[in-house]
A and B are shown apart, each in its own frame.
Chain A
Amino acid sequence: MRFPRFFSKKRGHRRTGSEAWGSIGEGLFHAALVAAGLVFGGLLVTGIAVPEWRINHDFRESQGTVVGKGLARRITAAGTTWQPCLRLRFETEAGSREAWAMRGSVASDRNQALSRLGGMELGEKLPCWYDPAAPETVVLARGYKWWMWTLTLLLPGALLAFGGAGLARSLGRWGKSEERRAAGGTLPLERLVSATQAAEKLPAVPSCDDLVNSPGTVLKYRLPISGPESWTLLGFGLFAVLWNTVLVVLAVNAGLDLLGGRIDPLLAVVLVPFALVGVTGIVLFIRELILSTAVGTTQVEISDHPLRPGGRYDVLLAQGGSGTFRDLSLVLEAEEQATFRQGTDTRIERLVVWRSPLESWRDVQVTPGTRFEVRSTLRVPPAAMHSFATEHNAISWRVVVRGRPSRWPGFSRYFPVVVHPAGPAGRQGTAAEARA
């Protein structure tokens, strides 16, 4: 008897094995997640949600008299905790009863718990609620702990959703070949392709809708900028805001303590490095903001879009700002991008496989209020690979403007373009090419 292969083997142009068996492990993993979600959810529901719901719905109200005070001690692995509790005498349908009821929160310090008991006097009257099925169970407060309900729903809910979705996917893939799944639209890629290019019947070619919705001032389209500069600025900005929000909360707490005549040494020690990091974050954000704005805006306009292999297009470069640029250049680039998993990380590798300098200028003088404007011609190589985008792989084209201002660090600004495959009549140019 042969044991089934869990993964298919590729031998030359042949593959053998059973994909059905290959998905068993994945299915078992997701089934285990579903089981864990059910068990965890069951424990939370029966241990927390149901008792809380019963207190609010089944327990009867009564008037309790404080006849004793004490501390409930709990010894756990984390240490000993103390919780104030009161012995109450209250009336039930079956007559008068006495029972202990917890009052207030748990404290790790016995003296702190004792001080909370100090406010209660023997003989004091308090409203209380008892369990008609077990009158020795009495509580002094009702209501719902929203965070406990959220926790009850969130953790097992996430396990059930993740595991259930994975299990459904595994069942859907069971016994189906890779081709059948892709043809059936069950792979994410199929949905991606059909969503982007179904109308134009250009599978795996990214849409250029977002690149042609902004008209240019001179040429037909103004290309949107997409570069690391904007993301770096956004990243520094977000970090500065989030970090300093936490810092302000901590600082306000420390300030209130100080006003109350108390100093928490741990908080004070933590605040110093926190403040240093917060100030550094603000400084870095301001530096990036100055760098990105001081150089001036860069605009690129193009005579037509999408591009075609062999096509020639007019390009307008407009550089704002002030001062002198030691050099400014316009480049056409193609970049391959591969997304892959390495252990538990998802990594992206990028590689420029085509670089064609279009034109460059030296000692460009830009005065405030005016822009350095220059026209150039972009020629897509006749044998260029078209733009390509799938879930894990991409080939993208872009116009790159590189500059070296005399007073600031050099910059590269990227303007993505989409190259379509050559038309059915062979490689073709555009109106610009016809004019040329």
Chain B
Amino acid sequence: MNRSGEPIRQQPVIVVYFSHADHRYQPLQQIDVRYEVAVAAGTAVRAVERSILWYTEGKGEEDIGVHHFERITAEPAVAVAAAGGAFGDLLPRSPLSYEGMIVKVRWCVRVRLFFEGGRDFVSEHVFEVGDIPAAALADSTSV
């Protein structure tokens, strides 16, 4: 119970298992993931979104590119997908994961649950595409 006497709402827990244990893939390779969801009893999920995407991190504004996206809203399928499931796709040739100085490119799997009432919960699991080494400053030159 919280201070106002309401029951504390537990956050869902989503566990994702990658087909490669080291979470490392090469371009044009198949990625398969399996996920399990644990939500508090009585929580009603109205939609589930499963996606494979990349996004940028670093000093600049975030850019995002979705490679695989599926949204499940049909009633019997939602109940199944909200408990767990599997999905996958063939990875594209680009972009590769990159750990730069001010620009970083990250690949991830996201499972997003939409609850009755408008709230949502997303679980993000990062994986690597390619094997580009981390960047270093070149002669400490800033242009």
Contacts and interface: CB of A to CB of B under 8 A. Distances in A.
Contact of B118 (A4, A193, A390): A4
B118 A20 contact: yes
Contact of B66 (A4, A183, A385, A420): A183
A353 interface: yes
Interface stretch (A171-179, A277-285, A370-378): A171-179
Given A352-B142, A354-B138, A383-B133, A395 B61 contact: no
Query: Which range holds the interface residue count of chain B?
Result: 35 or more
Nearest to A336: B103
B50 to A, nearest CB: 9
Contacts of B123: 13-14
Contacts, number: 178
Contact of A182 (B61, B64, B102): B64
B17 interface: no
Contacts of A51: none
B119 A353 contact: no
Given A4-B119, A336-B135, A179 B110 contact: yes
Contacts of A385: 96, 98, 100, 132, 135
A190 interface: yes
| Overall SS of chain B's interface | loop
B20 interface: no
Interface of B: 6, 11, 14, 27-28, 49, 51, 53-54, 56, 58-67, 69, 71, 92-96, 98, 100-103, 105, 110, 112, 118-126, 130-133, 135-139, 141-143
Contacts of A179: 49, 51, 53, 64, 66, 69, 110, 112
A11 to B, nearest CB: 9
B124 A341 contact: no
B101 A353 contact: yes
A335 B138 CA distance: 9
19 contacts: A4-B118, A13-B124, A14-B121, A16-B120, A180-B71, A204-B95, A336-B103, A337-B60, A339-B60, A351-B137, A355-B141, A386-B94, A390-B65, A391-B61, A391-B63, A393-B60, A421-B94, A421-B96, A424-B93
